[in-house]
Amino acid sequence: MLDVWHLRNINLLDGIDPIELDNILEVTQTQGFKRGEIIFEPHEHPHRLYLLHHGKVKSYTLTPKGDEWILQLFHPGDAFGGLLMGVAEGVPIWTEALDQVVVSTMNEDSFKQFQQIAPNTCFRLFRYMSNHHARTIHALRQLIHLKATYRLVITLLNLAQSRPQIDSRDLTIDGGYTHSDIANLIGVRRTTVSELISELRKNGILGGTGRQITICKPLAIYRSSRSQKGDRLMQAMIGKMAKMYPMLIMVGVLIVIISFFVGFNNSQAAAEYFAVDKITRETTLMDQRAAIASVDAWLPFFKFFGLGLILGGIVMALRVIIDELRQVGKTVLPTKLHSSLPTPPWYGLMMPMVMMLGMVIFIIAIVVGFQNASLASDIFSNPAPVIDSAGADSVLLGQVQQLHTIKSWLIPFKFFGIATMFLSITMGLGTIVFILTEQTRILDASLSGKSV
């Protein structure tokens, strides 16, 4: 019979009332398993619940080729079994002890009694299930966008069971995990895990020999992996947004077309204005002159904003091409070489940021342009003689001065935005050349049998 001390080692039962613990003892059975021993096979005890007291357990299935694929790792305090976790239809699942294991188990009838005699513990069990699934989903999201090296590091930190206490001290991972186990957890081949661990040991990130793995300076590694994860997620988000490039180009073209018609309409108004003699237009047609000057102040920057959207769309199209080239590389190259695929150089990663800088410049230019248009309208709503005779300290002369000052720096500012957009396009083209060159080199080395 399992004693109360063992039950208290289960997180699910920690802090439970002693009377409730005694009641639980009456409906559970205790079993022990040696390392490598199967706890249950497919469709065996699908309606049983297991509470893990001691040791580690893995659940796995087999691929069509007969390779083992780990589904879950369980540690002391975890619960598993088909009674609550369910059994996937058509997916045969084995559960195996990774070292000396002690479990408590109950069948469906015992669990019904368990619900009645230990309602608080039962509630904690359901909460554990929710947290367990949430952790699984979080782990998938955490690893899906990372390269194999960072997936390995994060998985090793998780296996160390010490994330809440991560500090500058080295962490030693239990030697019970084989390289095949770790490879299954991060979705790569065993040889890849062995190569990565060897490389990380050479770089001083990992220590130990064989299965004994020590994580050196885990706090710095954890922070680095979190940073890499954030970078990957950001790049993934940019990749999704890049697919909207047709809309960006269409909006840009639409703005350029609108600019043409507004400019054409303004040219007709200017033709009518200058068809009148000078004295008349400068003393009586101030509204027309103000409207023409206002449009002249904002229209060039509105047009350049549309041009910037078109160039931004081209940059995003280049980003799509870069992503597609990398995907083609994964399709063409053998799976074992996927970890050798080149990542975009720094200028490739900076390309969207440079493009956004150009768009910010255009937005600033058009906002200032509209403000300058309002200022021009105020100035030219006055008769020309009044403008010409404005005194040194008058508000009107100050407005004229401000109008010409802004115009003097705003024109080169918009061309700086154009230069920034062309720089981002150049970065994109350079990245495409880099990826094509590197993938061609890797493919040639693979076909000739050389090391990559």
Cα–Cα distance measured from residue 432 to residue 435, given in angstroms and rounded to the nearest whole number: 5
- With a threshold of 0.75, does the pTM exceed it? no
Cα–Cα distance measured from residue 350 to residue 344, given in angstroms and rounded to the nearest whole number: 10
**Structural domains of the chain sorted by starting position, each given as residue range(s) with its CATH number in brackets:** 4-135 (2.60.120.10), 148-232 (1.10.10.10), 243-448 (no CATH)
Mean pLDDT of each 10-residue bin along the chain, 452 residues long: 42 67 78 88 75 84 75 80 62 83 85 79 75 66 64 73 49 70 76 80 74 66 52 64 87 94 92 87 85 91 93 91 83 70 81 91 93 90 84 85 90 92 93 88 75 56
pLDDT at 166: 44
Q: What is the pLDDT of residues 333-344, one digit of tens each?
A: 776 666 667 777
pLDDT at 90: 57
Q: How many CA atoms lie within 13 A of 338 on its CB side?
A: 15
pLDDT at 222: 53
Cα–Cα distance measured from residue 238 to residue 226, given in angstroms and rounded to the nearest whole number: 18
| Residue 214 DSSP SS3 | strand
Tokens of 274: 């200058």
Tokens of 334: 């053998």
pLDDT at 335: 67
